[in-house]
């Protein structure tokens, strides 16, 4: 076991169990206790609370400027996504918004729409809802935390060279799909 691997596994257990507030068992606790012997605390801190660079701040700015808050749903398209890791940071930030039950942050990168989603709705399983709508392993995750890489073809578009010209249309189409999935009252 290396410190780097132990730190990654420890972070994974903490994330999957939402810091031991969701679906954990004694095996998770024993594994974490065993891994803690090798965990690099500084590395773990840098993963849990990464420093934000100027591109991440630009992503936050775009998300806040472009967000659509419809009832308990927030959709936040990012037209100029530099790093996929920024999506989860923005999703976590927006998820703390009062009276919000579902947040989806998404942007285009490498001819795909990448997304990160959060939910506190009891009547849906976020990962299953996304995987059902975007089959073939494009999206999925847990009940309250999910993500994906949606191929343009799944949105009705073929790959094309000039993403910037069509980017807004693709993001609008993605928003339509997400509204259809998460605006319904009775989801399971």
Q: What is the pTM of this model?
A: 0.76
Percent of the chain with pLDDT over 70: 93
pLDDT digits (tens, 9 = 90+) for 13-40: 888 776 777 778 888 889 999 999 999 9
Cα 35 from Cα 139, distance rounded (Å)? 29
b/e sequence 137-157, b meaning 16+ C-beta within 10 Å: ebbbbbbbbbbbbbebebbeb
Backbone angles phi, psi at 69, to 5 degrees: -110, 105
> Residue 96 in 3-state DSSP?
coil
Looking up tokens 């849906």, which residue turns up? 124
Map out the domains of the chain with their CATH numbers.
3-48 (no CATH), 54-182 (3.10.310.30)
Percent of the chain with pLDDT over 90: 58
Backbone angles phi, psi at 45, to 5 degrees: -60, -40
Nearest CA among 61, 79, 149 for reference residue 113: 149
Q: Among 42-46, 84-88, 167-171, name the one with the lowest average pLDDT.
A: 167-171
């Amino acid at each position: 076991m290396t410190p780097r691997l132990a730190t990654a596994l420890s972070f994974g257990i903490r994330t999957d169990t939402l810091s031991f507030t969701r679906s954990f068992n004694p095996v998770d606790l024993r594994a974490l206790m065993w891994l803690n012997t090798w965990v690099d605390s500084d590395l773990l801190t840098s993963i849990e609370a990464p420093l934000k660079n100027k591109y991440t701040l630009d992503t936050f700015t775009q998300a806040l400027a472009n967000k659509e808050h419809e009832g308990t749903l927030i959709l936040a398209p990012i037209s100029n996504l530099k790093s996929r890791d920024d999506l989860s940071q923005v999703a976590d930030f927006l998820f703390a918004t009062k009276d919000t039950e579902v947040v989806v942050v998404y942007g285009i990168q490498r001819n795909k729409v990448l997304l990160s989603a959060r939910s506190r709705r009891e009547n849906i399983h976020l990962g299953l809802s996304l995987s059902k709508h975007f089959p073939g392993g494009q999206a999925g995750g847990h009940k309250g935390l999910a993500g994906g890489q949606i191929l343009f073809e799944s949105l009705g578009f073929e790959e094309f060279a000039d993403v910037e010209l069509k980017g807004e249309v693709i993001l609008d189409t993605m928003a339509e799909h997400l509204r259809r999935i998460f605006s319904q009252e009775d989801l399971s």
